[in-house]
Amino acid sequence: MSVELDVQRFYTRLRKLHGSFRKHNNNWGGAKSLCLQRSSLNDDEPYLRSVVLQQWLFGYELPDTILLITEDGNVWICATKKKCEFLKPAVDQDEDFKIHLLLRSKEDSNEANYDTLVKQATSRTSDSNKIGVIVKERANNKANGGIVGPFEERLDTNVEEKLIELVDIAPALALVMGQKDDSERDLMKKSSVLSNKVMKHGFVKRLEEIIEDEKTITHEALATEIEQILEDPNKIKLNVPTSDVQSCYFPIIQSGGNYDIRVSALSSSEKLTPDIITVSLGARYKLYCSNIARTFLVDPPKKVSEMYEILLEVQEACLEQMRAGNQLKSVYKAAVSHLQKNGHEDLIPKLPKNLGFSQGLDFRDSTLTLSAKNGVTFKKGMTFCLSIGFQDLELSSSDLSNTPDNSAVKKLKKYSLLISDMVSISDTSADVMTKMGKAITDVAYNVNDEDGDGDDDDDDDDEEEEEEDDDEDAKLARKLSREPANANGERRSTRLAKDNGALAEASEGTAERERRQIQLMVRRNEDRLREIARESMKNRGKKDEEDLAEELETYKNTKEYPSNVQPNQVKVDMANQCILLPVFGNPVPFHISTIKNVVLPDPDNATLLRINFYTAGMAVGKDAPANMAKLVQKYAPYASFIREMTFRSLDGHNLVQAFRQISELRKRARARELREMEEATLVAQEKLVRTKNERVPRLSDLTMRPVFAGKKTQGNLEAHSNGLRFISTRSEVVDIMYNNIKYAIFQPCENEIMVLVHFHLKNPIMIGKKKHMDVQFFTEVVDASQAVDNGRRSMYDPDEMDDEQRERQLRKRLNQAFKDFCKKVDAVAKKNKYHLEFDIPYRDLGFTGTPSKEMVTVLPTLNCLVNLTETPFFVVDLDYVDHVHFERVTYMSKAFDMILINKDFNKMPWRIDMIPNGDKEGIQEWLTDMEITYTEGPMNLNWKSILATAKEDDRFYMNTEDDEVTEKEAGWEILRMYGKDEEEDEGEDEDDSEFGEESVAEEEEEESVDDDDDIDEEAFDSEEESDFDADEELEEQGMDWDEMEMQAAQEDKRKRRMDVAQEQEPAPRA
């Protein structure tokens, strides 16, 4: 089969199931065995209890399979051959359970298997022969036949003969699967985020388009569009494999006065009306379900807004009760109690019968519903869909008196309100996993407000007549304030007149990008906290193992000493890597790694040999063996160390020879340690399987980088069954396995001198004596250097034109050859069930910079930022980039530097220097599209110190200090050029400095940062909180013509002052 059984997970969950079966047998109806059979496939019923159980236990559906679990830990499974092969890895892997596989037998119609199962199901230790089954599914099992159908009939026969008794265990199964482990909670969060994103970026945007453009669409058609987004999240630029996602149900969209807030409701074929719109949708990620519902209010009357606020209050009251230890029915009681306390008893009948249900692999668990009578207790790890609404609320004509006449709400007589969120249960509180905003400001739209607010009461007519003159004066003042200050109509800035539209568009784009960056920063901080937590859990205990020092041992006893050891001579044992030194006439061995250095002073009357050792109390040095440094640290508190030993001899021959041997042995030991460190991270590669009996894709006359032994390496590249093989002209071989290729890049030749394929590896491989993460194969189109004669050649020279034509043809031919080879490699890898896809750099997003020693063109790809034409290769995997910072961003500088911070703070950031200022906007736009945060500043920073500080701060990505109250800047927000204090004082200080004027775009960036300081830091896994406030503020930031004229005039004035300053003194260095 194409999937494999996760044996560890299978036994973990089997142990959980069996433990509950034995400890809480009353919940299982007193059954002595569990018979959990599943009939044939039925796509119309994906949430059957048996289906969900198999997905939970095996991670895969096994239709037409019988599963029998006994009290003593025996597990009997009757299935077809393929299913038995799938389950075979679990046999004899756990001493607490015994797995028995019964292969389907067509010869006797499984009669022998049925006899065995019934015999094992019958208790041998008690008079009770109760067997736990899923009663609700038995009729369907009988009708479908197969292996399960006849077995169900056999059980019925035994029941009639009173040999056994069947009890329903569906509720007990729900309780076991309802409490989820860490991996399940993680999948539930991701599923909730998916639902949240589809609602926010799919439905809301589409709804706004429909309302804005006054389009006509039916509920059913709109629901179909949303379902397509659920099936393919790439439509909203969410990079999730389509094979992992699906819709839980057909989205429910309702408006126009006909509402049903039950989860079983359907979207009608009636037209969507812009009034009170309810929408419910559910996403399924890797089989785990989630649900979200919102109500959107278009031109809401005051009464509707008040009812919605009450609904939010009820939800908050319910959330307070959703914590471990409380009963499920306390949620419903909390809702009723809140309505009673606040005088809204009339709304109690409008509540649904239950306020939600447990979710997981099953969309709606009927056992764990938030009803008024459910006595089950909340436990940590449970996840629920909390769904609260008011059904069929009435609207009177007086309620609609202030509603605009052209609003669709005017026609409503009844309406409903609904809010659903995913909630995870913890010890102290309930964690809401669907973070989309639901405040009245997030869901209300005022579309038809032309009528104004001045006609509310007829009693005010007299007062309006008295104030009419004042109103006219106010209107005149407002009109005059909008007129330009210069009466002749000339613009004050010729620069603004040239391209005012482009300036406005750039300002709008910058503001939008800054808004997205603020949201990204919040999400990335949350993501990093989760990544760090998972990594610390994963590496728990490994650090202690790495810190353990290996004890040194040269000889087990003195009998192993070399035979030619003399009592008063220095002897070097090259084989055992030790030096035997005479101490009081006795040879004492010292391991070579204990020696720090050895000195042989110039001989005088006698020869001296001084040997220095690694000791505590002084720096061991960076060249010290790692194990020796650990040993010194280990024994420093209580051991005495020998710092140095000096030997003197009148005959210096032996000491000179010992000096040379010790130096050589230290050199060998150091080289061996470096080699071991080099090879420590190497992963054993599988052996290449050469393709036989078919044509092998091949590229000839290629040059490989890096090279063997410092020489140019040329040869052929071949694609085989499980990898690529390069064979050089000197018979050197390099194998690159498909499963070790992380990114494959094909860069055609356009403006470069070469066409190439580049492989960025998951694990390094050895080429020569060094390990490498990047391997490249290329062919030069033209020589990198050409001889140029002294004579000038005409542009119409026939020879010159022929050379250019041949070069173009060669370029085109080589590009096509490499492209065809990449396609063939893709096909070979796919044929052998490997995933390999070649990426092509985006040239239109490229920019120039200096990542190493020379100016090159840096190109983004789908997953990397690369320069592949020059060595050393510059390849930055975007998965490892935590944040990007732009240095030297000032008015005076013509270029800036780009710092890409690694998620591993032990590694220094990547940097690209001297990037032209004209490329900054494009780079920032690309980073935002890739969901990578960035900041900018005017100076170069000490990254070694910054990373050391960030590494030591456990709350670096949190927005509060250790007391969890004092606020601070979270994560890389500390690098923002303008903080809160500077923004508040900017209006006062901008005239004091000639560098204080800010551009329109930068003012909008600062305002967007200031206005979004309160964004919720609790969003999960790439999900942001409500952005309505940010959007609203950004919309209000657009300047009218007069404000832009004034801004441009101030910038012109500032520029003139800067020009004068430059003439008076040298300009600062860029």
d(CA 435, CA 1017): 11
Which residues, listed in sequence order, are joined to residue 733 by a DSSP beta bridge? 727
pLDDT at position 584 is 87
Tokens read off for 294:
């919102």
627-675 pLDDT, tens digit each:
888 888 888 888 888 899 999 888 888 889 999 999 999 888 888 887 7
Burial label, 400 (beta-carbon count in 10 A; 0-12, 13-18, 19+): buried
- Check residue 659 and give its pLDDT: 92
Query: According to the model, what pLDDT value does residue 510 have?
Result: 80
Do 697 and 724 meet the contact criterion of CB atoms below 8 Å apart?
A: no
CA distances from 49 to 32, 147, 205 (A): 20, 18, 37
pLDDT per residue as tens digits for the range 713-765: 899 999 999 999 999 998 899 999 999 999 999 999 987 889 999 999 999 99
> Is the per-residue pLDDT at 546 higher than 80?
no
Say if residues 256 and 357 touch (Cβ distance below 8 Å): no
Q: What is the pLDDT of residue 144?
A: 82
Residues 6+ apart with CB under 8 A from 920: 886, 889, 896
Q: What is the mean pLDDT of residues 411-427?
A: 91
The confidence band for 821, taking pLDDT boundaries of 50, 70 and 90, is very high
Sequence letter at residue 923:
I
**Contact present, 419 and 311 (Cβ < 8 Å):** yes
Give the residues across from 571 on adjacent strands.
Answer: 580
CB atoms within 10 A of CB 920: 18
Q: What is the mean pLDDT of residues 294-323?
A: 92
What average pLDDT does the chain have? 82
Over residues 302-319, mean pLDDT: 93
- Do 1042 and 484 meet the contact criterion of CB atoms below 8 Å apart? yes
Regarding predicted confidence, which is higher, 255 or 793? 255
Closest C-alpha to 148, from 287, 69, 35: 35
Q: What is the pLDDT of residue 776?
A: 95
pLDDT of residue 680: 67
pLDDT score for 126: 54
pLDDT of 310 reads: 94
- 730 phi/psi in degrees, rounded to 5: -100, 20
Q: What are phi and psi of 169, to 5 degrees?
A: -115, 10
State the Cα–Cα distance between residues 243 and 388, nearest whole angstrom: 32
Whether the predicted pLDDT of 2 surpasses 80: no
According to the model, what pLDDT value does residue 693 have?
83
Q: What is the pLDDT of residue 494?
A: 37
**CA dist list (Å): 980 to 91, 510, 512:** 63, 19, 20
Residue 314: pLDDT band (50, 70, 90) is: very high
Q: What is the spatial distance between Cα 430 and Cα 437, in angstroms, rounded to a whole number?
A: 17
pLDDT tens figures, 556-597 = 888 888 888 888 889 999 888 899 999 988 899 999 989 999
Judge whether 387 and 291 are in contact, CB under 8 Å.
yes
Higher pLDDT residue, 220 or 1006?
220
Residue 619 CB partners (closer than 8 Å, separation 6+)? none
Whether 294 shows a pLDDT value over 60: the answer reads: yes
Amino acid 953 reads: D
Three-state DSSP class for residue 192: helix
Band of pLDDT at residue 888, cut at 50, 70 and 90: very high
The predicted model gives 834-842 an average pLDDT of: 91
Q: Answer yes or no: is pLDDT of 465 > 50.
A: no
Mean pLDDT computed over 241-264: 91
Which of 94-108, 222-236, 874-888, 951-965 has the least mean pLDDT? 951-965
pLDDT of 1048 strictly over 80 = no
> What percent of the residues of the chain are helix, what percent strand, and what percent coil, each to the nearest 5?
40, 20, 40
The DSSP result for 103-144, as a single string, is E--TTTTTHHHHHHHHHHHS-SSSS--EEEE-GGGHHHHHHH
Q: Can you tell me the mean pLDDT for 303-315?
A: 93
Q: Does pLDDT of 214 surpass 90?
A: no
**Helix and strand numbers, DSSP H then E, in the chain:** 27, 40
1040 against 56, higher pLDDT = 56
Query: In this predicted model, what pLDDT tens digit does every residue of 467-503 receive, in sequence order?
Result: 444 444 444 444 433 444 443 333 333 333 334 445 5
Which one has a higher pLDDT value, 583 or 791? Answer: 583
Instruction: Indicate if the pLDDT at residue 355 is higher than 60.
Output: yes
Model pLDDT for residues 978-1033, shown as the tens digit of each residue: 544 444 444 444 344 333 333 333 444 444 434 443 333 333 343 433 333 333 33
Give all strands (DSSP E) within 888-1029, no chain letters: 895-902, 910-916, 934-936
Please state, in angstroms and rounded to a whole number, the distance separating the CA atoms of residues 502 and 498: 9
pTM, rounded to two decimals: 0.49
pLDDT over 90 percentage in the chain: 40
Gyration radius of the chain's alpha carbons? 38
| Cβ density class 752-768: b for 16+ within 10 Å, e for less | bebbbbbbbbeebbebe
Q: Report pLDDT for 1057.
A: 63
Q: How far apart are CA 831 and CA 297, in angstroms?
A: 53
Please tell me the total number of residues recorded for the chain in this structure. Answer: 1070
Which helix (H) or strand (E) segment holds residue 392: the answer is strand 383-394
pLDDT (tens digit, 9 = 90+) per residue, 165-201?
899 999 999 999 999 998 999 999 999 999 999 999 9
Following CA atoms 867, 869, 874, 875 in sequence, which dihedral angle do they give, to the nearest 10 degrees?
70
pLDDT at position 689 over 80 = yes
Cβ–Cβ < 8 Å for 937, 920: no
8 A C-beta contact, residue 866 and residue 876: yes
Q: What is the pLDDT of residues 61-87, one digit of tens each?
A: 888 899 999 988 899 999 998 989 889
8 Å CB contact between 101 and 87: yes
Quote the CA–CA distance of 464 and 466 in Å, as a whole number.
Answer: 5
Q: Please, are residues 851 and 912 in contact by the beta-carbon 8 Å criterion?
A: yes
Integer CA distances (angstroms), 742 to 309, 313, 570, in order = 51, 50, 54
Which residue blocks in 214-301 are alpha helix, DSSP H? 219-231
Q: Is the pLDDT of residue 457 over 60?
A: no
For position 462, what pLDDT does the model report?
44
